[in-house]
Structure 1
């Protein structure tokens, strides 16, 4: 005899699954009956392995079907060596997870080196050193990446390849601080971070970065993103260096971003005048503004 729950449509079951973790889905519904097993096995899984015990980790790996996974998040915060253990379960990762779109490495000691071609979103968070492994992984995905988030900006210093599909670039404040120190040691100017972004030759429409180093040599170039004027629609910039900018100076550069629709800017201005900003916004395509 079927329960009322078992009579729910696949669509309703999917909506329920959307509110549950992968472990909860497997633990509550797997092996109850053939229909539920079938529905679970074709449900697109977003697996988040943060704050998970080894017992739950093993349980998930035992039941999941690689082809149903569309996103993966690894973290060593609660369970060490997650990536290594995961590879033991799935030694042919690249050819098993054929529908994987997004993968995040959050404070992990290891990463997966050979990713499926389907991966278009990469995140390296909590990275405090540069490894050639990071560079090789990013380079291998260059043609398919549309989203890249890194804390180690100077990883790009080691990359000599274009990213034709990259539309979202997020560079964390830790990365910019390390990167600026790196430039200082190399005798390079702050213009280099613009040069590295430019050399990606990417149609970036979402750019998010933070600059918090007072030793930048040429701070006057900081808000100059005119090389992205044809494509940039969303800009989030936090500039915490000890320099005050005039409103006219910032306005001059922002006016060059012809397609900008969303702007979040944290920067030291000599005068914060709401009316000035209001008049400026009216002259642009910006519809969302935070400062």
Structure 2
């Protein structure tokens, strides 16, 4: 045993670190931490230590031993854990978090956090939004949030200047305005557009946003286009636009004959546009046996292509 240990210890630091990369974080600490000063220093120098916890699969004492050295923390389900103990995390991913875990955002300060993902929460995110969009995490660069509820700005947001990439759930135009104001350096935004009958108003232009992805299930395409027009009017320097739209199969003939595929909006709102992707999701009803054939798909693509006339790179997809 002593001979084996001595052979491992003569390996250069670079090779030891490579070996560490193949080990589970718990195994790494249980096997090598506190063996000697050299191994402690090597482990503490690692910049990509990640920890994934399932429901109550490790004791708190084991977890908190590792917590100062974890850079990526992934939590799945009902886990009793104190986020403030992970003071050096850069990436935090929460799947199906409990209300108790979300409530920790009221008080927790994660000053090094760069990426936050909460992709599958149904309700109860208002306090989290308040913290994110009021610069509680000053190094946050990328954020993925989704909740079934429509996002509201009940409390005033301040600003999060560090945020560059944002994926978010259902919002209307008023929340859109608040997001652009709260994230002045936002580069990429993905959203689900929510239908609102409140009076639409103008907003100060956001000059840094270059990529916008809009998902919409609004069946009133005339109103949908009006909303998109308003959304685009806020981001004059947009370079990449992706639109996901839903349409009933029964409405396809109207699209072929009457719809202009945003061609009347983009030349006015998006003068810097370089790329347009349009994804059309077909909605089949139980009582309908209609389907579209290859020729109809070709006609749709031709209508789309003719509407935009190679002014920018464009791509049309039917699903």
TM interval, shorter chain, is 0.5 to 0.7
Q: 1:39 to 1:68 in 2, by over 3 A?
A: farther
SS, match of residue 93 in structure 1: coil
Which residue is 1:142 aligned to? 160
Q: Are the equivalent residues in 1 in contact too, given 2:142–2:165 (CA < 8 A)?
A: yes
Which residue is 1:214 aligned to? 219
CA distance in 1, matches of 2:18, 2:168: 32
Which residue is 2:12 aligned to? 7
Which residue is 2:188 aligned to? 168
**Structure 2: 5+ residue runs without aligned partners?**
1-5, 69-85, 282-295
C-alpha RMSD of matched pairs (Å)? 4.4
CA distance in 2, matches of 1:141, 1:6: 49
Tell me the alpha carbon deviations over residues 25-56 of structure 1, each in whole angstroms, 9 at most, x when there is no partner.
5456544543343233233347575x623234
> Which structure is larger by alpha-carbon Rg, 1 or 2?
2
Query: What aligned pairs does 1:1-291 form with structure 2 within 5 A after superposition?
Result: 1-3=6-8, 6-9=11-14, 13=17, 17=21, 26=29, 30-45=33-48, 52-56=54-58, 58=60, 59-65=62-68, 66=86, 68-76=88-96, 81-83=100-102, 93-94=108-109, 97-108=110-121, 109=124, 114=131, 115-128=136-149, 130=151, 139-154=157-172, 156=175, 159=178, 161-172=181-192, 176=193, 179-180=194-195, 183-184=196-197, 186=198, 188=199, 192=200, 198-199=203-204, 201=206, 203-215=208-220, 218-224=223-229, 226-227=232-233, 230-241=236-247, 244-245=254-255, 248-256=260-268, 257-267=270-280, 271-273=299-301, 277=305, 280=308, 282-284=310-312, 286=313, 289-291=315-317
**Structure 1: 5+ residue runs without aligned partners?**
none
SS, match of residue 300 in structure 2: coil
- TM-score, normalised with respect to structure 2: 0.61
Q: 1:258 to 1:158 in 2, by over 3 A?
A: closer
Tell me the alpha carbon deviations over residues 166-190 of structure 1, each in whole angstroms, 9 at most, x when there is no partner.
1221113xxx3xx31xx24x4x4xx
How many aligned residue pairs are there? 261
CA distance in 1, matches of 2:217, 2:182: 27
Q: Are the equivalent residues in 1 in contact too, given 2:152–2:175 (CA < 8 A)?
A: no
SS, match of residue 240 in structure 1: strand
Q: Are the equivalent residues in 2 in contact too, given 1:107–1:125 (CA < 8 A)?
A: yes
Q: Are the equivalent residues in 1 in contact too, given 2:167–2:190 (CA < 8 A)?
A: yes
Q: 1:281 to 1:158 in 2, by over 3 A?
A: closer
Q: Are the equivalent residues in 2 in contact too, given 1:127–1:152 (CA < 8 A)?
A: yes
Q: Are the equivalent residues in 1 in contact too, given 2:163–2:186 (CA < 8 A)?
A: yes
1:274 CA displacement: 5.2
Q: Are the equivalent residues in 1 in contact too, given 2:150–2:171 (CA < 8 A)?
A: no
CA distance in 2, matches of 1:280, 1:131: 35
CA distance in 2, matches of 1:251, 1:100: 41
CA distance in 2, matches of 1:131, 1:22: 39
1:153 CA displacement: 0.8
1:73 CA displacement: 1.0
CA distance in 1, matches of 2:225, 2:177: 25
